[in-house]
Structure 1
Amino acid sequence: MIDAAHLTRTLPAVVPVTLVRDVSLSIAEGEFVALTGPSGSGKSSLLYLLGLLDRPSAGTLRIRGKDTGPLDEDTRARVRLQEIGFVFQFHFLLPEFTLRENVELPMRRLARLSPAAIRHRATDLLEQLGLAGHVEKRPDQISGGQRQRVAVARALANDPPLILADEPTGSLDRKSSSQVFEILRTLSGAGGKTVVAVTHDLGLAAQTDRRLELVDGALTDPKPAPQQG
């Protein structure tokens, strides 16, 4: 799914700041990988490079075998819309829209389905994530954990093979965190999605297939997922 070679991201300045330093990694289809490390270690910066939200200063990135370096901005946006689903620490749901309408947005942008099919899929995704009976509510009418499940449904709207999650449980309580991470694990297992999640919680990282740790923008020695207990 992902092949990165010597990815580096440096911010130009009087004193340049390197956010990601010479990172090489491969992530297989259907794998669930945790990115861990201290605050400021470059985890989110690396995730944004993998998700085509930022461009590397050096190195190459292939997604499903395709070199993303030469792609123009319109093509990168199209790849993000079709191939990648994003879940962030804060849900970024539009408050004036219902839950269903929020989930419909990526599908409407892609314009691959009819309006009726878009409505049906949005409703179905919300119901699969335990939100039956809430689909016509607005975000301020549900809990934080439920809002994050809506964000997961929105990430799944166009059925992307790759899900990137940046601290998806960082603003949730322990119970809601476990529920959201269990959803991500199910997506990777039975759902066949590739999931890469930034997390500071090693207990949650224990639920993944593999843990990659960053320190000062560079990968340390590859680690298996920590064992629970």
Structure 2
Amino acid sequence: MSDPALVVETRGITRILQEAVPVTLVRDIELRVTRGEFVSITGPSGSGKSSLLYLLGLLDVPTAGEVLIDGQPTGGLTADDLAAIRLAKLGFVFQFHFLLPEFTVLQNVMLPMQRLGVLSEEKMQSRGLQLLADLDMADQARKRPDQLSGGQRQRVAIARALANDPLVILADEPTGNLDTKNSEIVQDIFGRLVREQGRTVIAVTHEEAFARTTGRNVHLVDGRIEKDVKR
């Protein structure tokens, strides 16, 4: 019987790049993440941190093993099926915000909702404005990304990741392109999402200060989990 608290599970996943000389990105990863956890993934450069996150987020598929999202096996699913799970259940924040420059802040936040196609235009706008307000960005809603600071853009990216009320937020070096002050703001936002809203966050980081703010640390070395510590 599946555990209803379990949101992400991996069963022996391995990812090998089939090149002239095959490259193993991650090997035999067994990981279980439950609702409301704040997990940091750390490790030296080339240890497989981002590769693991991309597998958890169904942006890549394992060579062996399987990823389950909310108890649903994803092995063998079509690209369209995987995209549907990502859209409905996963939110992504990357080091570079990837906001679309031709759209306003609010329009960028609304994009995932428009793709999902569940809410009316009025409700999408209302939800988008509320998400921005929660991150102290409502007064920037009509601006375009190039009118914002780096920290503001990352807050918009977080609002966009929350647009479809995802089961899990996956972040890849979300503070890696920010100064100390804005890095601390983003760290605090993730912490509040977990503490106050019960969100599940899995974040790759090379910053020890960020990793210390999380409730659990998964440390990779050479594509394997060296330690998995709850604080």
Q: Fold conserved (TM > 0.5)? A: yes
Amino acid at match of 2:198: G
Matched, 1:55 2:71: no
Deviations 1:59-109 (A, max 9, x none): 111111111113211111000000000000000001111000000100000
Q: Report 1:79-98 matches (<5 A).
A: 79-98=85-104
- Residue-pair matches, total: 225
Pick aligned residue for 1:2 from 5, 8, 26? 8
Pick aligned residue for 1:68 from 68, 74, 87? 74
- State the Cα distance separating 1:193 from its structure 2 match: 1.3
Q: Report 1:171-190 matches (<5 A).
A: 171-190=177-196
User: What are structure 2's unaligned runs of at least 5 residues?
Assistant: 1-6
Deviations 1:39-61 (A, max 9, x none): 11110000000000000000111
2:49: which partner in 1?
43
**What is the rounded CA distance, in whole Å, between the counterparts of 2:15 and 2:170 in structure 1?**
18
Pick aligned residue for 2:39 from 17, 33, 36? 33
Matched, 1:125 2:146: no
Q: Secondary structure at the match of 1:190?
A: helix
**What is the rounded CA distance, in whole Å, between the counterparts of 1:135 and 1:222 in structure 2?**
40
- State the Cα distance separating 1:182 from its structure 2 match: 0.9
1:169: which partner in 2?
175
User: What are structure 1's unaligned runs of at least 5 residues?
Assistant: none
| Runs of 4+ residues over 3 Å off in structure 1 | none
Length-normalised TM-score, structure 2: 0.95
Q: Secondary structure at the match of 1:163?
A: strand
**What is the rounded CA distance, in whole Å, between the counterparts of 1:14 and 1:98 in structure 2?**
45
Q: Percent identity?
A: 56
**What is the rounded CA distance, in whole Å, between the counterparts of 2:181 and 2:203 in structure 1?**
18
- State the Cα distance separating 1:224 from its structure 2 match: 3.2
Tell me how large the CA RMSD over aligned residues is: 0.8
Contact in 1 for aligned 2:220/2:227 (Cα 8 Å): no
**What is the rounded CA distance, in whole Å, between the counterparts of 1:209 and 1:128 in structure 2?**
23
**What is the rounded CA distance, in whole Å, between the counterparts of 1:221 and 1:110 in structure 2?**
37
**What is the rounded CA distance, in whole Å, between the counterparts of 1:13 and 1:83 in structure 2?**
32
Matched, 1:114 2:120: yes
Amino acid at match of 2:140: H
**What is the rounded CA distance, in whole Å, between the counterparts of 2:184 and 2:128 in structure 1?**
23
